[in-house]
Structures are given as structure tokens and as C-alpha cells.
Amino acid sequence: MTTTQTTPIIGQATRRVTGPLKVSGQATYAAEFSKDFGPELAHGVLVTTMAASGRISSIDTEQAEAAPGVVKVFTHLNAPELPYEEPVMRPQVQPQVGDPLRPLQTDQIFFSGQTVAVVVAETLEQAEHAATLVRVTVDETAADTDLHAAHQRPEADEKQDTPRVSAPKKPAENGKMTGRPSDVTVGDPDAAFESAAHTVDLDVEIKTLVNHPIEPHATIAWWEGNTLTVHDKTQWVDNARHKLALAFGIRQEEIDLKVDALNTVKDAVEGVLGVQESSVRVITPFTGGGFGSGLRTWPHTFLTAMAARELDRPVRLVLTRAEMFTSVGHRPHNLQRVRLAADADGRLQSVIHEGWQETSLYEEYTMNLLNTTRMAYATPNLRTTYRLVPLNIQTPTSMRAPGECSGAHALEVAMDALAYEIGMDPLELRRRNNATHDVQGTPFSSKHLAEAYDLGAEKIGWADRPLAPRSMRDGDDWVGLGVSSTFYPANRMKASASARLLPDGTAQVHSAASDMGPGTYVSMTMVAADTLGLPLDKVKFALGDSDFPHAPVHGGSMTMASVGPAVKAACEAAIQAVIELAVDDDASPLAGASADDVRLEHGELIGPGGRETLMAAVARHGEPVEATASLGPNKLQALMPSDYAFHSYGCVFARVRVDARTGEPRVEKVVAVNDVGKVINPTTAASQTIGGVVMGIGMALMEEAILDPNFHRYANDTLAEYHALTNRDAPEIEAHFVGEPDYELNPLGARGVGEIATVGTSSAVVNAIYHATGARVLSLPATLDKLL
């Protein structure tokens, strides 16, 4: 007798299947795999530079090498030259212009905190001590980290060697303007602005934010012959595997394959070359947060693998919290100018949004800073201008809703200001400009923003809100209500999965996906169980192993929309394989039927002549039945030709209190309402939303990595001084969902939750602070000194 599931699983609130492992310490994160090793595991520690610009003139390792337990000190003088092959096509997570930082392959210093040596010792303590004994002398040159001054410089012409303000040199493909074009103009925005009844013109600043997952980045690497195995904190094991292979020049035939996109490399290799085992394997079953810091494969990962190869023993390297500020990217400091114009009825006539964003001197990091502006509201005239400003900083990286989060913040603060300029309710202004298509005229696939506005307004009590700022007082506090719309592109990329049905009545489903916290484990288990008609506990989903079928990057809010359909398709293929076995099996009640006439319902195969459970057929077969499936677009869905523009939509309402005497701002309540298509798991979707709101409040009120203006180094490089929200700062947060499945995007109808959850909160909070106090905070974070 096999167990079947007779009620739907998708859409039911379901707890994380990994929860018990996590709370009992049984979930093994990258650095914790040290438990698998004995004393052969050596420990690496980075040596970083204080200087922010120049060249290393000398590096004295004598004392460090003599220190107890030291195995080797690697510097640019003795490190092997690594191939670091260029991929056929760079993954989306890597800047398309410039070259990645290759520590120990150069004497050049681009920013303070750059790695210049790696000390490897028998124990962590010995390595840490020896690292303090390495003496680095830098022939310093003037560094520049002043975005305010630098962004006003003349733009670069192409012949200049020195870095200057410039448009991105290689904008991403932008058939639907979802890439990163430098300049987009529709209509005549300047003339419309000049002649409009109401205008606002705001300068907005968003300081550097750092991803800071609680799990620090860490790597354990070891070699067996030419085979490298790595445990690495990453959001994309497949890319880590690929980049490591390129770095060490192994499997040349594999990486030279002319394939049209990275995501098909593995399928192609394994299909065309018949390669059974990889010469690089990356295994990361658990990722303790990331928010984008784990998209790329960073220098410390290559350095750890290099040390392991040179020393012929496993090496472990864990970044310190201070190193987390300057080793794995950050949300870049940016300046924005937003001009909005509306007619007397509050209908937008012109939108002009300009952005200047820092990048490093060696790579052009681009993000979707102004994309939201090109789809958020209906306007006949629009211009967006995006400029990069190279400074002496590390290359920034994606941090939860990269670009959208910063750009939408400025737009939504400006919308609030425009409402007050007109004398109109800020929510009504948004309703009046609710768009049905993006600025290029492509219709949205499925949009229920108006319902989100209604529900959110009801939940926060918007109807009782007086329009005038500084009109709600409770004791010593000014009280205010603010609103923001929120948008995030719905993406999807090709993904693969395998499903293996076992004679014991259970199923194993695999994909090289990641779970940095959203609950990939549980949601994919749900999709598989739902498709197979099995109870959840009969399905075991595994991820985070580059030997599993390929998955796209665990970012861009597209894991559910990409891997989910692949899991579903793999399960369906396995079901089909079982059906074909059953109809050929005389012992089956389905024997002799045409496979096309058999269907699965609640875990039961039903044919014209009889029925049996799926797993009973597998049990009788006596061998596992396995199938794989791969589906989805080869490039980001947003870059594919389509009749629709795919986005998610929502709104955030915030109620704040500001102490009238000390200026202290506190968020009292947040209501977030999102239309994300089909919600697969209400529990984890709400959890993601709450987490996104918490992050957004941190961005609004306290998060900021502060660059010292003279030393060009982050001054507050600890979690004690870089303030992320604590539980005491987190208010009551309600997460609601509206909308319906978006089957135009994928067969599950799901659009992803992770990033839209964090867009909009910072602007709702700052708008609420304006309503409370009358103070319009234009430079984040809105700390109390700006409200005194």
C-alpha cells in the first residue's frame, strides 16, 4: 500500500522542511564542513591593505613565515600565475566591462581593504597572528571616493585613459528596456516639465549599503589530482564551478564550448562530450543569507583553491566581518535627481530621472537604477539618464532588488512630494497614474495594483489620515502615515531538475538551485509532491550541488519561477515514464492501455481499464524510475521577445512615530500588499515579505557604510557600528497578497517574492516621516539628526 496525497499542496501554508535542521544546528554551512576534515585542514587568513590607491612597493613576510604553525604566506611575488580564462559569455552577475580583481596577480591597489596576501597556517589562530606580522608598504597615489564631487566632472570621451563619469560602455540588451540603457527618452520631457501645472525637482542620495548576510563568506577547497571540490558560500553553485574551472584552466574542452549562454554549458558538456564526472564540484547545501553577495564568485574563493593546490592539502578561509565590507560587494552609493510634472488633475506629464552611481576603477558595475521609472506610472514624456562614476572602491554588487530599490525610492519620494505640491492625497496620485503598460507600450502580463492599494489602505487605516503634514500628535510623538508603490521585474531563466521515483514509495528531486533563506527546499518539495500526488514527507528535494541538473542564479527573484517549473516538468516526465512501464506490464491494472489514455490524479494512475497508485507501479517495477527536464528561456525572460512586460506590483504603507524632542524615528506598523502571481507557499512568501520590509526599514532609518573622507576606508566596519535593524526596531508587519496566477510567465503562474518585498519600504517610511514632521529627508538614512 503506498501513500498518496489527495488534497492540493501548492498554495497551502507549509513550514520549512529544513527548519528542524536549522534550529538544531544540523544544517551544515560552508565553513562548517571543517567537521569532515582532520588536522590536514589548513587555515587561510587574508592580509588587506590600509592604503586605497597605489602600488605595493614591498611586502615583508619574513616574520610571518617564522611564526608558529605557518605553512606558507602567499603574495603577488610568489603566488602562481593563474589562467583566469575569460568565459565565452560572462554570466549576468558579472560586470560586462572591465576585469575582475585578481589579488596576488598584481601589485596595484584600487581600494582600502584590498587583499594583498594570504597566510596559511595549521590553525586559525596561528594564521590570524601571522597575518598581523606581514608588513606591506604601498607607494600611495591620491585616492578618490567623493561621489558628490566626482559626479560633476565632465563626461569621459572614449579616448581618455583616466576614469571619468560615463554612461555604461556596454549596456545590456534592452529590447524591452529592462537592461541598463544609459539614456531613454520618450516624447519631449523638458518642454512638458516647463509647461506643467505642478512640478517637483528633488535631489536624493542613497549611501553605501552592505549586504551582510549573517553567515560570513567562507570557502573550503581541496584537490584530488586534477579534481577540485569546494564548499563555498554562494547563491549559484553552477557559476562557482564554472568560474573555478576557468580560473585554473582545467577542462579546456569544456569551457571553450561555443554555447549561447552560460546556463546551457553543463547540459551541453554532459550531452555532447558524454562527461560523467566534473573536474570541479561545488557543494553548498545551505546558504545563510546573501541578498546578492553570493551571486559572483569572489577573489577569496579562488585564493583558497589556489592555496589548496599549491600546498596539496585542504584549506579553509572565512572572511571576517570587517572583510565582508570590502570583499563581496555592496549596494553602491548613488545620487539621483528626479523631476516630475503633473497637470492640475494629478496626471503625470513628464518624468525626468537622472542617476549617478559609483563603481570601481576596474569594473563597471551596472544595476537597474532607473528601470522602475520606465514602467511604474503612465506618462507621455520621460527621460532617464544613468551615469557611472569610478572611484577607489571595490566593485559594487547586487543587493536585494539592486537598482530598483534605490531608484524606486527616489521616484516614490518624488511622487509623495508631487502629491503635496498638488494638494492631493498621495495614494490618489498613484491611483490616477496607475499604468497598464510600460513606457514602450508593452502591456503588463497580469497586474492587480489597484486591489493592492485598496487592501493596504484598509489595513493601515488610510481613510482617517489627514492630508496635512504635522497634524497627528500622540503625547511626545509626531505620528505619520506614508505610502509607496513597489515594483519588481518578474524574471525567469532556463532551469533543469531530475526526479527519481523509488520502489520504497519515496521520491528524490534534485536541482543545482540554492536556498539562502526564502525556502527553496520547502517550495520545491511542495511543487514535486503536488505534481506526484505524494505527501510532503515522501519527497526529498536536494539542491546546492553543481553535479545536480543546472539551475540559474539564485537571485533576481526567479528561483520559484525558473526552478519550480523545471521540478514540475521533471516530475511529470517521471510520471510519464512510469505510465509507459505500467501499460507494458501485465501485472498492472493499466496493462494494455495506451499511455496517452492514462492520467495521474491524487497520486493514482487512472486508465480506461483500471487504476493503481503511481508508487505501486514503481514498487512493482523494482527499480528507480528517473527523468530529467529542462525548460525556460536561455536568457532572462525580460530580454526575450514577448507580447507582455512581466513585473510584480504592490504597495507598502507605513505608520511612524518621531519623537518631537529628540527626533528619534520609529516605525510602528507596516502593511505590505503584493501581486506576485501565484503564491506557492503563503508561509514563506509572508516570511520573505516581512524580511524585505525589515531590510527596507533598515535602509530608511539606519544602514550606512561610512567612508572616511581622508583614508577612503569604511569607518564603521563592524555590525556594532553598521546598524542593521534589530528585533526591537522591527514593528508589526502585515504581509498580504492579491492577484492571480501569471501563466503567461510560467506554468506555475508564480513570479517570485524576494525582491519586491524590499522595494518600497524605505520610501513609505520616509514619506510617513514627512507626514509626521513636515521634514522631507532626501539623503538616507533618515537618522534623528535630520529630524531635530
Interface with another protein (CB under 8 A): 50, 68, 125, 128-129, 132, 322, 476, 661-664, 666, 701-702, 706, 708-711, 713, 715-718, 720-721, 723, 725-729, 783-785, 788
Beta carbon of residue 729, minimum distance to another protein (angstroms, whole number): 5
Beta carbon of residue 75, minimum distance to another protein (angstroms, whole number): 18
> H or E segment at 339?
strand 334-342
| CA pair distance 497, 491, nearest whole angstrom | 18
Within 10 Å of residue 457's Cβ, how many Cβ atoms?
Answer: 21
CA 89 to chain CA centroid, Å, is: 20
- Closest alpha carbon to 369 in 167, 155, 94, 640: 167
Residue with smaller CB distance to another protein, 344 or 720: 720
Dihedral sign (CA 13, 18, 23, 29): negative
* CA triple 486-492-497, angle to 5 deg: 135
Beta carbon of residue 717, minimum distance to another protein (angstroms, whole number): 7
Residue with smaller CB distance to another protein, 609 or 663: 663
Number of alpha helices (DSSP H) and beta strands (DSSP E) in the chain: 17, 27
Residue with smaller CB distance to another protein, 289 or 663: 663
Cα 78 to Cα 58, 121, 403: the distances in Å are 13, 17, 40
Residues in the chain: 788
Q: Which ranges of 602-742 does DSSP label H, i.e. alpha helix? A: 614-621, 682-701
Beta carbon of residue 785, minimum distance to another protein (angstroms, whole number): 4
Residue with smaller CB distance to another protein, 436 or 710: 710
Residue with smaller CB distance to another protein, 95 or 781: 781
Cα 45 to Cα 307, 311, 315, 319, 353: the distances in Å are 11, 15, 10, 8, 44
Please give, one letter per residue, the 3-state secondary structure of 665-694.
Answer: EEEEEEEEEEECECCCCHHHHHHHHHHHHH
Q: Where are the beta strands (DSSP E) in 218-282?
A: 218-224, 227-232, 280-282
Is residue 154 reached through a cis peptide bond, with omega within 30 degrees of 0 on the bond before it? no
Is residue 500 within 8 A of residue 785, CB to CB? The reply is: no
| CA pair distance 655, 670, nearest whole angstrom | 6
How would you list the strands of the sheet with 495-501, edge to edge? Answer: 539-542, 507-510, 495-501, 625-631
Beta carbon of residue 45, minimum distance to another protein (angstroms, whole number): 11
Residue with smaller CB distance to another protein, 595 or 690: 690
Residue with smaller CB distance to another protein, 685 or 705: 705
- Give the cell for residue 170: 556596454
Residue with smaller CB distance to another protein, 145 or 442: 145
Beta carbon of residue 719, minimum distance to another protein (angstroms, whole number): 9
Residue with smaller CB distance to another protein, 298 or 722: 722
Beta carbon of residue 416, minimum distance to another protein (angstroms, whole number): 24
Residue with smaller CB distance to another protein, 385 or 716: 716
Beta carbon of residue 71, minimum distance to another protein (angstroms, whole number): 18
Residue with smaller CB distance to another protein, 172 or 660: 660
Beta carbon of residue 467, minimum distance to another protein (angstroms, whole number): 29
Beta carbon of residue 758, minimum distance to another protein (angstroms, whole number): 18
Residue with smaller CB distance to another protein, 125 or 260: 125
Give the amino acid at 110.
F
| Residue pointed to by grid coordinates 512586460 | 645
Beta carbon of residue 263, minimum distance to another protein (angstroms, whole number): 41
Beta carbon of residue 91, minimum distance to another protein (angstroms, whole number): 34
Query: What distance, in Å, lies between the first and last C-alpha atoms of the chain?
Result: 71
